[in-house]
Amino acid sequence: MVQIPKPPAPEPPAPRSVPTSADVARLAGVSRATVSYVLNNTSAVRISEPTRRRVHDAARELGYVPHAAARSLRAGHSRTVLMPAPSFPAGPLYSRFLDELMGALGRLEYTVVQYGSVGLRGDEAARAWAELRPVAVLVPGSGPGPQGVEILKRAGARAVVTLGHEAVDGAHALLMDHAIVGHSAVRHLHDRGRRRIGVVVPVEDGLKVFSAPRLAGARRAVRDTDATVTELPLAYDERAAARLAARWDSLGLDAVFAYNDEYAMLLMRALQDEGVRVPADTAVIGADDLMLGRLLRPRLSTVHLELPSGRDLAALVDRAVHDPGAAPERHEVLGAAVVHRESS
C-alpha cells in the first residue's frame, strides 16, 4: 500500500495554549504586575490611561481569562460556597428554595458550587469537599458527622451549615423537623373528630428522612388521646395503592395522612375507585400544598410548608463567614399550617 505523504500543514494549527497574564504583559509591552493592576482596577496604584488601554486591548485580543485556582491560591481564600447535591429527589418546593438561595448568595458575591458527591460517604465526602477549600459549606439532608465538620473547618471553611433534621456539633443548623408536619396533619384530623388514623409511609428509601419524622409527629399528636395511628407502607405506584385500598375496610380507618399531596392523590384515587367515600368514610390530608391538591375533587386538605427564605439563609452564611468564631446558630425553620379544604 502506498503511503500518502502528508503535505506539510500550511500553518500548523498551533494548539494555542491558554493565555496567561504573562502573555498579556508581553503583548502589551508591560510587566505582569501592571497587567494585574489594570485588570483588577487596583486602587492603591495609579496606571496611566494609555497603558490601561494597551493592557485591555491585549487581554481582549488574546481572549485572556484569569485562572481562578491561581488567584485563590495566592489570595489564600476563595468565595466559594460549596453545596453537595442533595441525596433525595428534590421536589418543586425544595428546588425553588435552592434557586432562591443560589440567587441570594450570588448577590453577596459568593460563587455557589453544587458538588456532585457520588458514592462518597461520611468523612470521605467531607474530605473531597475540603479539597476545594470552600469558604462555607452548606449541607442539605443528613450531613457529615462532627468529624466531617472538623475536617472542613481545618481546611479553612469558615462556616458549615447543615440544613435538615438534626444538628451537628460545631456546625450551624437550620433545623427542619418534619415531625411538625405529621403532627399538624394528625391533630387536624383528630380535631375533626377522627380517631382511627392511618399514616402513609413511602417505601422509597430516599424519602425516609422525611417520612420517619412525619410519622413520629403523627404519633405524638395522638399520644394521651383515645385515637390511634396506623403505619401504612406504600409505594408510589398505582397497583400498590389499589392493593392498599382493597383492604381498606379491614383496616377500619376513618382518616389518613398521606405523607404528601402526591401520595394523597394516589391513595385518594385508589380509595374512590374502591368505593370509599372521601371524606365521609375516610378523611384524607396531604402535605406540601401543591397546586394539584386544589384540582382534586374533593379538594385536598393539606399541610402548607414554610421553608426559610433563601435570602435569610444566605445572610446567615454571610454572617458566619464574617465571624467564624461565633457560637453555632440553631434555628427551627420549618413552618407548617393546615390548609383545610374538602377532603377532611
- Between the CA of residue 209 and those of 116, 178, 228, 317, 318, what are the distances in Å? 20, 9, 23, 24, 28
Going by C-alpha positions, the residue among 82, 79, 157, 155 that lies closest to residue 117 is 82
Which are the contacts of 52, defined by CB distance < 8 A and separation ≥ 6? 38
3-state secondary structure of 296: coil
Closest CA to 20 of 12, 9, 28, 10: 28
**63 lies in the site for its own copies, by CB under 8 A:** yes
d(C-alpha 279, C-alpha 304), whole Å: 20
Q: Contacting its own copies (CB under 8 A), which of 46, 154, 223, 247?
A: 154
Which residue has cell 367515600?
A: 277
User: Does position 115 bind its own copies by CB under 8 A?
Assistant: yes
Interface residue with its own copies, options 33, 73, 326, 337 (CB under 8 A): 73
Would you count residue 32 as binding DNA (CB under 7 A)? Answer: yes
**Interface of this chain with its own copies, residues 257 to 296, rule: CB under 8 A:** 262, 265-266, 269, 291-292, 294-295
- One of 33, 69, 246, 326 touching its own copies (CB under 8 A): 69
Which among 126-134, 212-220, 281-289, 331-339 is the span making contact with its own copies, rule CB under 8 A?
Answer: 126-134
Closest CA to 159 of 4, 318, 293: 318
Q: Which three cell numbers stand for residue 308?
A: 426559610
Letters for 8-27 (x = contact with DNA by CB under 7 A, - = none) are ---------xx-xxx-----
DSSP secondary structure, 215-261, as one string: HHHHHHHHTTSS-EEEEEEE-SSHHHHHHHHHTHHHHT-SEEE-SSH
Site string for DNA, 113-152 (x = CB under 7 A): ----------------------------------------
C-alpha cell at 319: 454572617
Residue 79: CB minimum distance to DNA, A: 13
CB of 134 to DNA, least distance (A): 14
User: Site for its own copies (CB under 8 A): how many residues?
Assistant: 55
Contacts of 270 (CB under 8 A, 6+ apart): 238, 241, 242, 244, 245
- Binding its own copies by CB under 8 A: which of 22, 33, 45, 68? 68
Q: With binding defined as CB under 8 A, does residue 46 bind its own copies?
A: no
For residue 42, state whether it binds DNA (rule: CB under 7 A): yes
What three-state secondary structure class fits 325? coil
Residue 326's binding partner out of its own copies, DNA, none, with CB under 5 to 8 Å set by partner kind: none
For the chain, what is the radius of gyration of the CA atoms?
A: 29
Helix (H, G, I), strand (E, B) or coil at 125: helix
Would you tell me the crossing angle of helices 238-246 and 261-273 to the nearest 10 degrees? 50
Contacts (CB under 8 A) with its own copies, residues 17-36? 18-19
Among 22, 33, 45, 70, the residue binding its own copies under the rule CB under 8 A is 70
Stretch that binds its own copies, among 35-43, 127-135, 218-226, 279-287 (CB under 8 A): 127-135
Would you tell me which residues interact with DNA (CB under 7 A)? 17-18, 20-22, 29-37, 39-40, 42, 44-48, 50-51, 64-67, 70-71, 73-76
Interface with its own copies by CB under 8 A: which residues?
16, 18-19, 63, 65-70, 72-73, 78, 85, 89-90, 92, 95-96, 99, 102-103, 105-107, 111-119, 127, 130-133, 150-151, 154-156, 236, 238, 262, 265-266, 269, 291-292, 294-295, 297
